[in-house]
């Protein structure tokens, strides 16, 4: 499981609300409940709009903020880096009772099934390690995951994945119109970035996850959001030919691809600590990006998984590349 640390963004594990497939409502109430959505190949039923949901990952929080439903959270667990959110969102999150922010050495949230059940949430956004969908279903707690965190992952992730997620959140929480407004805003932000791209194109970039203290790195391939994010910037993911989301890569392989620039993702630590984790690997100083000091560090959810936070990361990378 350690090698999938990055699957659980900001050290919180799986994030919430998904739709690994199509969605559909059932029932005859005006609000559209009971509602059934397809998630990771499983039918998830909700009898009513969630009013005491539990969130265990930072990634989906921006969806809830965009839809104005942060007041529907009844509890939370994990860490929510302030760099991701507005003051208003952070203030709202601060009002939600926190069970724990304890993470293991692997960056995974440590919380038991019993602790979750004791909160009696009407929806769990995410699935911590060691907790199963079946055990929660037995207690009447529905679970929703991000598509990227489904066992089969998501094929060809991109901005449409984000729009689909926003619509699903809107459907589950009864905020469909608000979801469409949020999607329109996201599309405008992408257009603004594309209009302001620097003249240079074709930059080769590697998006990496340094396993601190282990002397290895993970790389993000074709099935990660890193690839479409870089394409928007006119850059090329040097691992776009690998049909995986994240995988361990040797320094020899990285040297062979020799990227012009490197983006380092992380969930905890200073920029210098994250850079040093890469530099400590034998051979790293021979990389073109290292020699040219073309390394930037950003928090995990600014690139993965597909959420509105990816747009914040896109804007940050656009600013960085303009200065290079």
Residue 314 and residue 167 share a domain: no
Whether the Cβ atoms of residue 266 and residue 303 lie closer than 8 Å to each other: no
pLDDT value of residue 31: 58
- Same domain (yes/no): 242, 307: yes
Query: Is 252 part of any domain?
Result: yes
Residue that is last in its domain, among 166, 189, 212: 189
What is the average per-residue pLDDT within 79-84?
Answer: 90
For CA atoms 155, 198, 297, 98, the dihedral sign is: negative
Closest CA to 3 of 209, 223, 298: 209
Claim to verify: residue 274 and residue 309 sit in the same structural domain: yes
228-237 pLDDT, tens digit per residue, is: 999 999 999 9
Are 117 and 141 found together in one domain?
Answer: yes
199: in domain = no
Task: Using a pLDDT cut of 70, give the percent of the chain over it.
Answer: 87
Region 165-173: what's the mean pLDDT? 91
Find the CATH number of the domain harbouring 271.
3.40.50.1980
Reduce the DSSP state of residue 152 to 3 states and report it: coil
115 to 72, 77, 110: CA distances (angstroms): 19, 10, 10
Average pLDDT, integer, range 7-20: 36
What average pLDDT does the segment 144-171 reach?
88
The total number of structural domains that make up the chain: 2
- Note whether 95 and 226 are same-domain residues: no
- Residue 287 falls within a domain, yes or no? yes
In the structure encoding, which two tokens stand for residue 37, read together? 């959505």
Query: Where is the domain boundary, 128, 154, 189?
Result: 189
Question: What is the pLDDT, as a whole number, of residue 32?
Answer: 83
- In this predicted structure, what is the pLDDT of residue 22? 35
34 and 178 share a domain?
Answer: yes
Instruction: Indicate whether 244 pLDDT > 70.
Output: yes
Q: How far is CA 105 from the centre of its chain?
A: 20
Q: Please report, rounded to a whole number, the percentage of residues in the chain having pLDDT higher than 90.
A: 68
pLDDT, one tens digit per residue, over 205-226 is 999 999 887 888 999 999 999 9
Residues 20 and 160 occupy one common structural domain: yes
- Residue reference for tokens 């034998």: 282
What pLDDT, on a 0 to 100 scale, did the predictor assign at position 107? 59
φ and ψ at residue 282, rounded to 5 degrees = -55, 130
What would the pLDDT profile of 27-77 be if each residue is shown by its tens digit?
Answer: 334 358 899 988 888 898 999 999 999 999 888 899 999 999 999 999 999
Residues 145 and 247 in one domain: no
Residue 114 belongs to domain spanning: 2-189
Of 160, 189, 218, which residue is a domain's last?
189
Residue 196 confidence class, pLDDT cut points 50, 70, 90? confident
Residue 124 reports pLDDT greater than 80: yes
Rounded Cα distance, 320 and 212, in Å = 24
Q: Which of 8-22, 86-100, 219-233 has the lowest mean pLDDT?
A: 8-22
pLDDT score of 121 more than 50 = yes
Q: Give domain status of residue 62, yes or no.
A: yes
Structure tokens that stand for 154 in this block: 């998501």
Q: Do 159 and 226 fall into the same domain?
A: no
Reading the block at residue 108, the tokens are: 């995974």
Residues 178 and 218 in one domain: no
pLDDT of residue 200: 61
180 and 69 belong to one structural domain: yes
The answer to whether the CB of 141 falls within 8 A of the CB of 34 is no
In a domain, 195, yes or no: no
Q: 198 in a domain, yes or no?
A: no
- Let me know if residue 290 belongs to a domain: yes
Reported pTM: 0.85
Helix (H, G, I), strand (E, B) or coil at 208: strand
Q: Which residue has the higher pLDDT, 151 or 118?
A: 118
In a domain, 196, yes or no: no
Q: Based on the domain organization, do 60 and 175 belong to the same domain?
A: yes
What average pLDDT does range 187-216 have in this prediction?
Answer: 88
């Amino acid at each position: 499981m350690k090698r999938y640390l990055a699957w659980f963004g900001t050290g919180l594990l799986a994030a919430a609300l998904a739709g690994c497939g199509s969605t559909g409502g059932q029932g005859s109430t005006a609000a559209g409940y009971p509602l059934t959505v397809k998630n990771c190949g499983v039918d998830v039923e909700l009898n009513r709009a969630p009013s005491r949901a539990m969130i265990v990952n930072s990634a989906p929080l921006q969806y809830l903020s965009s839809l104005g439903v942060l007041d529907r959270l009844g509890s939370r667990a994990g860490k929510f880096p302030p760099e991701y959110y507005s003051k208003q969102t952070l203030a709202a999150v601060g009002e939600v009772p926190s069970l724990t922010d304890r993470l293991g050495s692997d960056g995974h949230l440590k919380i038991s099934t019993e602790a979750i059940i004791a909160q009696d949430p009407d929806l769990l956004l995410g699935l911590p390690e060691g907790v199963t969908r079946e055990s929660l279903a037995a207690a009447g707690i529905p679970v929703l995951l991000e598509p990227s965190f489904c066992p089969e992952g998501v094929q060809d992730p991109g901005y449409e994945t984000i729009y689909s997620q926003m619509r699903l959140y809107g459907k589950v929480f009864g905020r469909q119109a608000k979801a469409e407004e949020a999607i329109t805003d996201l599309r405008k932000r992408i257009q603004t970035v594309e209009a302001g791209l620097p003249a240079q194109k074709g930059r080769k970039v590697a998006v990496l996850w340094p396993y601190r203290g282990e002397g290895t790195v993970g790389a993000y391939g074709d099935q990660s959001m890193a690839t479409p994010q870089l394409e928007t910037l006119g850059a090329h993911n040097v691992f776009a030919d690998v049909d995986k989301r994240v995988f361990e890569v040797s320094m020899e392989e990285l040297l062979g691809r020799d990227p012009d620039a490197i983006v380092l993702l992380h969930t905890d630590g200073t920029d210098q600590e994250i850079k040093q984790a890469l530099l400590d690997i034998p051979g790293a100083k021979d990389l073109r990006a290292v020699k040219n000091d073309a390394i930037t560090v950003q928090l995990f959810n600014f690139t993965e998984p597909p959420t509105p936070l990816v747009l914040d990361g896109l804007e940050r990378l656009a600013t960085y590349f303009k200065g290079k």
